[in-house]
C-alpha cells in the first residue's frame, strides 16, 4: 500500500511539473514609431507615412492601432505596420500621433510623436519673457510666439551661458548686467531669427540709498548704506563709542553720557571689522519710556547718528519679509564665502547687500565672548518687559533670520541703524 501511495504522489508531482512547464508568462508587446521622427514638419495636403515596429515575444499580437489626436485612423493585424495619414484636412499646427500595440490578452504598449502641419512658409520668429527687469539669481520664463509652426528652436540668453533648444525655456541670470536675447526658429521650409537688444536687465538688491550713499557717526566713522525695498539701512555694523574691557559678568556699560561698547575678546581690531557690541539699555540710551511692543517707526535714535534710529521689530520684519521671509532671509543678508563665516554658511548670497558678518556676542555670564564666525546678533528697539528684549540672529548653518526674545539684559549685540 505504501508503495502505491508513493507512486500516486509521484504521478501527481510529475503532472504538476508538466502543467507548469507548459505555462508561459505573458509578456506585453513592444511598440516603437520609426517614422516620422518627433518634431517633423509636414506641409498641409501631403500624405505622411507612419511606420511602427511592433513585436510580441509570445507571438500573440492582436492588433496595431494608429491614432492622430486620439482619433483612430487605421488598425492593422499583421506586419508591415504602415499607415498613410492624409493631412489635406488637418488644421495647421501640432498633432500627436499615437500607435498602440495590443496582444490577445489585452496587454499593450504604445509610442507617441508630435508633428507640425505647416503651410509652405518658414517661421517668423518671435518671443516674450515673463519679466524683463529682475534681480540676480532670478528666473525668466521665455515663451516662443513664432508663427508658421517651427519645429526647432535655438535660444541665446546673452550672458555667455549655454544655448537652449527647448521651445519655452526657463533661464537663471546670475550676474548683474543688461542682456540681449535672440531666438532662431526653423522648420522644413526655412528659419528666422529675432534679436531683442538689451532686453533683460539684471540688478542686485545692493544699491546705496539715493542721496545718502554714506553716513558718518559722531566719532567720524563713515558707513556705507544700502537701499533694501523702501528702507535705507547701514551696510555695516555700528562701531561708535569708547571700548570697555569685559572682564566679569553683569552690566558694565552705564548711563554716563558716553557711548560705550565692547569689542570681541577685548580686541579693538574686532570692533573695526565687526563693529561694537552693546547692551540693549546702552543702545536705546536708557530711554525707559520705550517699553512694551512700541514699534512706532523712528521713535528711538539711541546711539545711531542724527537722522537715523534703532530699528524696531516691525522694521526688521518688513526687511525679512521683503527678502523672502524668515526661512531664507538670513542667507540673503549674510556675507558670502568662508573668509569670515564658518562653513557651511548655509544659503548665503548677500543679494541684499546687507553683508551681515559673524561678529558673535558678549555673554551675560562671566564677561565671556561667544560665537564669532558662527552667528550675527542684532538688537531691535523692542522691549517686552523689564528684562526681555527682542533680537535678530543669523547662523552659519541655517538660512533663517530668527527674531527672538532675549531674556537676560547684559548681553552685548551688534547694531544696524535705519534711516528715519
135 Cβ neighbours under 8 A, 6+ residues apart = 202, 203, 204, 205, 351
Residue 413 and residue 404 in contact, taking contact as beta carbons nearer than 8 Å: no
In this structure, the answer to whether residues 77 and 192 fall within a common structural domain is no
**Are residues 131 and 114 both part of a single domain?**
no
Domain stop point among 168, 203, 238? 203
Alpha-carbon span 342 to 29, nearest angstrom: 58
- From 85, 118, 151, the end of a domain falls on 118
Residue 355 in any domain: the answer is yes
271 and 162 in a common domain: no
pLDDT (0 to 100) of residue 133: 85
Same structural domain for residues 186 and 321? no
Phi and psi, residue 33, nearest 5°: -80, 120
User: Is 378 a member of any domain?
Assistant: yes
Q: Within a domain: residue 9?
A: no
> Do both 105 and 167 map to the same domain?
no
Strand positions, DSSP E, 130-176: 133-135, 139-144, 152-156, 170-172
Say whether both 343 and 256 belong to one domain.
yes
Grid look-up 504521478 returns 11
Closest-CA residue to 105 (of 75, 61, 64, 74)? 61
- 355 lies in the same domain as 290: yes
Domain, as residue range, for 73 = 30-118
Q: Are 152 and 164 in contact (CB under 8 A)?
A: no
**Tens digits of pLDDT across the chain (420 residues):** 567 666 666 666 666 555 544 455 778 899 999 999 998 988 888 899 999 999 998 888 999 999 999 999 999 999 999 999 999 889 999 999 999 999 988 999 999 999 999 887 899 999 999 999 887 777 899 999 999 889 999 999 999 999 999 999 999 888 878 999 999 999 988 999 999 999 999 877 668 999 999 999 999 999 999 999 899 999 999 999 999 998 876 678 899 999 999 999 999 999 999 999 999 999 999 886 655 444 544 468 999 999 999 999 899 999 999 998 999 999 999 998 899 999 999 999 888 999 999 999 999 888 899 999 999 999 998 876 656 788 899 999 999 999 888 876 689 999 999 999
In whole angstroms, what is the distance from residue 259 CA to residue 6 CA? 106
**Spatial separation of the C-alpha atoms in residues 257 and 243, rounded to whole Å:** 14
Query: Are 54 and 31 in contact, with CB atoms under 8 Å apart?
Result: yes
Gap between the Cα atoms of 130 and 143, Å rounded? 8
Cα torsion 125, 129, 132, 136 to 10°: value is -120
Q: Has residue 8 been placed in a domain?
A: no
Same domain, 290 and 161: no
Q: How many domains does the chain have?
A: 3
In order, the DSSP letters of 47-110 are EEEEEEEEE-TTS-EEEEEEEETTEEEEEESSSSEEEEEE-TTPPSEEEEEEEEEEETTS-EEE
**Residue 106 located in a structural domain:** yes
* 133 and 264, same domain (yes or no): no
Check whether residue 190 and residue 275 sit in a common domain.
Answer: no
Neighbours of 70 (CB within 10 A): 7
State whether 179 and 235 are in the same domain: no
The per-residue pLDDT for 293 is: 47
CATH number of the domain encompassing residue 47? 2.60.40.10
CB 350 within 8 A of CB 381: no
pLDDT in the model for residue 197? 96
Distance (Å, whole) CA 287 – CA 382: 12
Q: What is the pLDDT of residue 14?
A: 66
In a domain, 225, yes or no: yes
Measured in whole angstroms, the distance separating CA 364 from the mean position of its chain's CA atoms is 39
> Cell 569689542 identifies what position?
263
Question: What string of DSSP letters covers 390-417?
Answer: EEEEEETT---EEEEEE--TT-BBB---
Same domain, 282 and 381: yes
pLDDT at position 21 is 47
Amino acid at each position: 500500500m505504501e508503495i502505491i501511495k508513493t507512486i500516486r504522489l509521484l504521478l501527481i508531482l510529475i503532472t504538476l511539473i508538466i502543467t507548469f512547464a507548459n505555462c508561459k508568462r505573458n509578456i506585453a508587446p513592444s511598440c516603437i514609431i520609426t517614422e516620422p521622427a518627433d518634431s517633423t514638419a509636414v506641409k498641409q495636403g501631403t500624405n505622411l507615412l507612419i511606420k511602427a515596429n511592433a513585436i510580441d515575444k509570445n507571438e500573440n499580437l492582436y492588433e496595431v492601432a494608429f491614432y492622430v489626436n486620439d482619433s483612430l485612423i487605421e488598425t492593422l493585424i499583421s506586419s508591415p505596420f504602415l499607415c498613410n495619414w492624409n493631412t489635406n484636412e488637418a488644421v495647421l499646427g501640432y498633432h500627436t500621433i499615437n500607435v498602440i500595440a495590443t496582444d490577445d490578452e489585452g496587454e499593450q504598449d504604445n509610442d507617441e510623436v508630435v508633428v507640425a502641419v505647416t503651410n509652405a512658409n518658414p517661421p517668423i520668429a518671435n518671443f516674450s519673457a515673463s519679466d524683463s527687469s529682475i534681480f540676480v539669481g532670478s528666473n525668466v520664463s521665455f515663451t516662443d510666439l513664432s508663427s508658421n509652426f517651427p519645429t526647432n528652436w535655438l535660444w541665446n540668453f546673452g550672458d555667455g551661458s549655454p544655448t537652449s533648444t527647448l521651445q519655452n525655456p526657463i533661464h537663471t541670470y546670475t550676474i548683474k548686467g543688461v542682456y540681449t536675447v535672440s531666438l532662431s526658429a526653423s522648420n522644413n521650409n526655412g528659419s528666422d531669427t529675432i534679436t531683442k537688444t538689451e532686453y533683460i536687465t539684471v540688478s542686485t538688491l545692493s544699491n546705496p540709498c539715493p542721496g545718502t550713499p554714506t553716513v558718518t557717526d559722531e566719532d567720524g566713522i563713515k558707513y556705507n548704506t544700502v537701499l533694501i525695498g523702501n528702507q535705507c539701512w547701514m551696510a555695516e555694523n555700528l562701531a561708535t563709542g569708547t571700548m570697555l574691557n569685559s572682564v566679569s559678568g553683569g552690566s558694565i556699560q552705564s548711563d554716563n553720557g558716553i557711548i560705550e561698547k565692547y569689542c570681541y575678546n577685548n580686541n579693538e581690531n574686532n570692533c573695526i571689522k565687526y563693529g561694537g557690541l552693546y547692551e540693549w539699555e546702552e543702545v536705546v540710551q536708557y530711554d525707559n519710556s520705550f517699553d512694551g511692543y512700541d514699534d512706532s517707526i523712528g521713535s528711538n535714535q539711541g546711539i545711531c547718528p542724527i537722522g537715523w534710529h534703532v530699528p524696531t521689530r516691525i522694521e526688521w520684519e518688513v526687511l525679512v519679509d521683503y527678502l523672502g521671509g524668515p526661512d531664507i532671509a538670513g542667507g540673503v543678508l549674510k556675507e558670502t564665502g568662508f573668509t569670515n563665516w564658518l562653513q557651511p554658511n548655509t544659503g548665503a548670497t548677500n543679494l541684499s547687500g546687507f553683508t551681515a558678518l559673524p561678529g558673535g556676542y558678549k555673554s551675560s555670564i562671566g564677561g565671556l565672548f561667544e560665537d564669532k564666525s558662527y552667528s550675527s546678533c542684532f538688537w531691535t528697539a523692542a522691549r517686552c518687559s523689564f528684562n526681555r528684549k527682542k533680537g535678530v540672529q543669523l547662523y552659519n548653518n541655517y538660512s533663517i533670520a530668527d527674531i527672538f526674545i532675549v531674556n537676560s539684559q547684559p548681553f552685548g549685540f551688534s547694531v544696524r541703524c535705519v534711516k528715519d
